[in-house]
Amino acid sequence: MEIPYTVTARPDTGLWNAKVGIWLFLASEVMLFGGLFSSYVFLRLDAPPGAWPHGLLNVPVGTGNTAILILSSVTVVMAWASLKMRQLTRYKVYMGITILCGIIFLAVKLAYEWPQKFDHFGAFIKQEALEKYEPYLGNHHLAERGLPPRTEISGHLHNHEALHDETVKEYEVALDPVNADPTNPLMDRPHFLPLAHTDKIATIDKADVEYANMFLPKHSTYFATYFTITGLHGMHVLGGVLVFTYLWLPVGTKLYKRNPEHLANRVEVAGLFWHFVDLVWIFVFPLFYLL
Amino acid sequence: MDASSGLAPHPPADHDPHHHDAGHDHHELPFWRKYIISTDHKVIGIQYGITGLIFLFFGFSLMMLMRWQLAYPGQALPLIGNWIGHVFGEGSMPDGKMTPEFYNSLGAMHGTIMIFLGIVPIAFAAFGNFVVPLQIGAPDMTFPKINMASYQAFMAGGIVMLISFFVPGGAAKGGWTSYTPLAILSDKGPAYDPFWNGQTLWLVGFILLITSSLLGAVNFIATIIQLRAKGMTWMRLPFFVWAQFVTAFLLLLAFPPLESAVVMQLMDRVAGTSFFLPSGLVVNGAPLHVSGGGSPLLWQHLFWFLGHPEVYVLILPAMGIVAEIIANNTRKPLWGYKSLVFAALVLGFMSFIVWAHHMWLTGMGSVVSAFFQTTTLIISIPSVIILSAFFISLWGGSIRFNVPMLFATAFLPMFGIGGLTGIPLAFNSADLYLHDTYYVIAHFHYIVAPGTIFGVFAGIYFWFPKATGRMMNEFWGKVHFWPSLICMNMIFLPMFLQGMLGMHRRWYDGGQGWTVAGEKVWGMSGFEWNTPISIAAWVMGLAQIPFIINFFWSIKYGKKVNDNPWEATTLEWSAPSPPPHGNFATTPTVYRGPYEYSLPGRETDFTMQTEPMRESDRKAYEAAAAVH
């Protein structure tokens, strides 16, 4: 016996099977990302004042990626509509654009944004040594203005061996603008356009450092959540791209020849997943880039 | 067609182009396609069942080992001690004496294996897979290939968990709850592999198990919504299907937050993050070199957000099984079908907002505690409704005490004891004293062990003839039942005493070195009570042998029976035994509710759901409606 309602809807529920399936799956996905976003809220609320960093991510690039994802959500609907109108060529074009958008998004993330972070260094200064590094931190200035204090000095690390070598006693850092000129009122708020590190070099005594690392997941709670959530989101994007590619290849054409409605249904279901992935990004972007 | 579109291409269209009716042309399938990578819901159900039973016995064996250490701490285990030390490697049982590390591994893995590799796969996946499509009159699950993938992910998770016993340092030691920061800091250091260590493998195994349960849950819900036979309205579904439906929702929505927590703990262990590590930790006298800023409490919240619905995942399928068997063997309709259904739904919903009652001692604050205390007491109402409906169903029935019914009736008081002893734990003031004692162990084991496991056994004896066409032996079934019932109570009743003395659940020496365990109750100290408990546990292990032999022997040599040996009413009994691929020769049509026993005016005392209405039925229903 064939399984009924694989392509046509069951009259009393008005749904075909995969549509029920994908909505259930998405409900579970909401709970998965819900767990992660709740953790983000929980950890951020727990963080001491000034410990949650701002302005470390590249906002224009993030905005561009957001636009690309939104565009792909539109094109996937167009691809589905083309199938409904039985226009296979248009479907191929729109689906092709969708796949391309997914790949661009991933490429920007993996080849540009993430490596840039891995190349950035930050050192958290011990409470008792904050005064010593006042020229780089500008905490008196911040206190006057009622802003939370800075505890971290960041920039480009010159002596990478300092991270592992016990005999090296200090970090040599080409400072970020915020630490190079900490009392400048322009530095009170994060910048929309990213600023390159300056050529002003600071030496930080390891003995004064609470914890120092490259901008890796282990650098801070902020980057831990950032890499975990964007990583998991990236895996979802990759999954979507793979499914779309499968439906775009000749396998899809074969199915179209046999039953065009069936292919349309599959594109619809995969598209629903894609919209969800898009929606998750709509939360990720403000939480990490803007707020 | 199937949810993941591209990932698992269209099941029926490709896999068999031509129609096949009741069970010919399947013998052509080679063995590995028929039994190993089958997409048939019945085969997958049986795969889940047998794998689950093996894991269940393995998990129980771990506990039988621990019971030696608890009753005779520090003494060499006779006969098999050296052999076990050899199998689990050095550091487990040198000279037959159990090390504390090995004891911790056994404890953590007993809980993990029993719950996630034993009970859930059997009660939910095995029975759900085998019975639900048959009971709703469906040819299979909606997504057969995803169903197969669900079993394979489960199997992979199980294998990873088993491998973790044999990596350097042994299996996870952080308890089945893997509380942080302990779990993140354990199994680390020069003696351990950065990846192939107990705790990391525990996390990896969990991701696989959660994937498996997700695929299963989606499939179950979609099947119940989409593939009900003609006339099978929601209020004609057997209660078992309702129970599985609610269970599937719990798994679907409660597991993912734990998955996110598992991913974060994995990041903490592998990538060095501090999701669950607070600032300022000092380990072995040196400050821990991590960024800090994490929250151990966060792990507990996410863990128990799964952990509590999980309790209902464990109990609801058993309630479903018991409902079917009680209706069948009392030969009268189940009492209060509608209340049962709504109670199950309320139970499912409420189970999402009681989780923090596992965390009274974390200092969440009195407002939060008051909220969860209230919801916890509310959730006892639907449980009581369900149990009461079962008890009332027994009233005035001419009960057939066959083996399934023995297990099902035993379920009622056992679950009752488990439920009622939970009430003191629901109050945070009483829990201050009882938290983490043997009282808690006794409480939840009464629910899961003589509760759910008895339900599972009842189900196995009940549906065995449907799966094989043969009965299990009645006499040996009773030889299995009575010692199991007695031993269960001998194991868990004294634990209430131990717990009320204040004995902690994780003591390696069974309480030997602790003053509270020296106090005497009924002539024996708390510590000395360990000995009868342990003996009862080992006798219960022996009592499972008749079941194991009976199970395999009956597959081949059991008494042959017809398609409906229990004279039951639900749809699965109108299919051939064993049902062929596709289940029903023609799609069944349903005319009535699931429990039409002793319908007046009928020549038999059971009227199947597929029986068309007669004039006499109409009169009987009208007369019944007039009475109410």
pLDDT tens digits, residue range A203-255?
999 999 999 999 999 999 999 999 999 999 999 999 999 999 999 999 999 99
Using CB atoms, pick whichever of B6, B256, B302 lies closest to residue A247.
Answer: B6
Q: Which residues of A touch B26 (CB under 8 A)?
A: none
Q: Would the pLDDT of B26 be above 80?
A: no
Tokens 């059997």, residue? B122
**Quick check: A36 and B293 CB within 8 A?**
no
Which of A110, A284, A119 shows the shortest CA–CA distance to A194? A119
> Is the Cβ–Cβ distance between A21 and B218 less than 8 Å?
yes
**Quick check: B305 and A269 CB within 8 A?**
no
Query: CB under 8 Å to A170, separation ≥6 — which residues?
Result: A162, A203, A204, A205, A206
Cα separation, A160 vs A213, in Å, equals: 10
CB pairs under 8 A between A and B: 197
- Which two structure tokens, joined as six digits, stand for B44? 């997958």
Cα separation, A265 vs A15, in Å, equals: 11
Comparing alpha-carbon positions, the chain B residue that sits nearest to A4 is B227
Which of A92, A71, A70 shows the shortest CA–CA distance to A83? A92
> Is the Cβ–Cβ distance between B541 and B67 less than 8 Å?
no
Average pLDDT over residues B128-147: 96
List the single best residue of B267, B291, B295 to mutate versus A (max A Cβ within 10 A).
B291
**Domain assignments of chain A as residue spans, ordered by start:** 18-42+53-118+220-290, 121-214
pLDDT of residue B27: 55
For B230-233, the CB contacts below 8 A with 24+ separation are B230/B137, B230/B587, B230/B588, B230/B589, B230/B590, B231/B589, B231/B590, B231/B591, B232/B136, B232/B137, B232/B571, B232/B590, B232/B609, B233/B590
* Architecture of the domain defined by B33-276+309-321: Up-down Bundle (1.20)
The model's confidence at residue B36, banded by pLDDT at 50, 70 and 90, is confident
- Which two structure tokens, joined as six digits, stand for A69? 């994802």
CB-based contact, B556 to chain A, within 8 Å: no
> Is the Cβ–Cβ distance between B414 and B342 less than 8 Å?
no
Cα separation, B100 vs B74, in Å, equals: 10
Comparing alpha-carbon positions, the chain A residue that sits nearest to B303 is A35
Alpha-carbon distances of B600 from B38, B329, B572, rounded to whole Å: 44, 18, 23
Enter the DSSP assignment of B437. Answer: B
Measured in angstroms, the CA of B264 and the nearest CA of chain A are apart by 8
pLDDT in tens, B326-344: 999 999 999 999 999 999 9
Kind plus residue range of the DSSP H or E element containing B447: helix B438-447
Enter the DSSP assignment of B191. Answer: T
Other Cβ atoms closer than 10 A to B296: 18
Query: CB under 8 Å to B137, separation ≥6 — which residues?
Result: B227, B228, B229, B230, B232, B571, B583, B584, B587, B588, B590
The model's confidence at residue A187, banded by pLDDT at 50, 70 and 90, is confident
> Is the Cβ–Cβ distance between A51 and A151 less than 8 Å?
yes
**Quick check: B12 and A3 CB within 8 A?**
yes
Measured in angstroms, the CA of B382 and the nearest CA of chain A are apart by 25
Cα separation, B383 vs B342, in Å, equals: 11
CB-based contact, B600 to chain A, within 8 Å: no
The model's confidence at residue B10, banded by pLDDT at 50, 70 and 90, is very low
Q: Which of residues 197-226 of B touch A (CB under 8 A)?
A: 214, 217-219, 221-222, 225-226
CB-based contact, B278 to chain A, within 8 Å: no
Measured in angstroms, the CA of B41 and the nearest CA of chain A are apart by 12
**Quick check: A243 and B5 CB within 8 A?**
yes
Residues of chain B with pLDDT > 90: what percent? 85
Pick the CATH number of A18-42+53-118+220-290 from 1.20.1070.10, 1.10.10.10, 1.20.120.80, 3.30.365.10: 1.20.120.80
**Quick check: B275 and A35 CB within 8 A?**
no
Is pLDDT larger for residue B625 or for residue A32? A32
The model's confidence at residue B14, banded by pLDDT at 50, 70 and 90, is very low
Q: Would the pLDDT of B355 be above 70?
A: yes
Q: Where in chain B is the domain with CATH 1.20.210.10?
A: 33-276+309-321
ipTM of the complex: 0.95
Give the helix ranges, DSSP H, for B227-289: 239-270
**Quick check: B298 and A42 CB within 8 A?**
yes
Q: Which residues of A touch B255 (CB under 8 A)?
A: 28, 31
Average pLDDT over residues B233-239: 96
pLDDT in tens, B523-576: 999 999 999 999 999 999 999 999 999 999 999 999 999 999 999 999 999 999
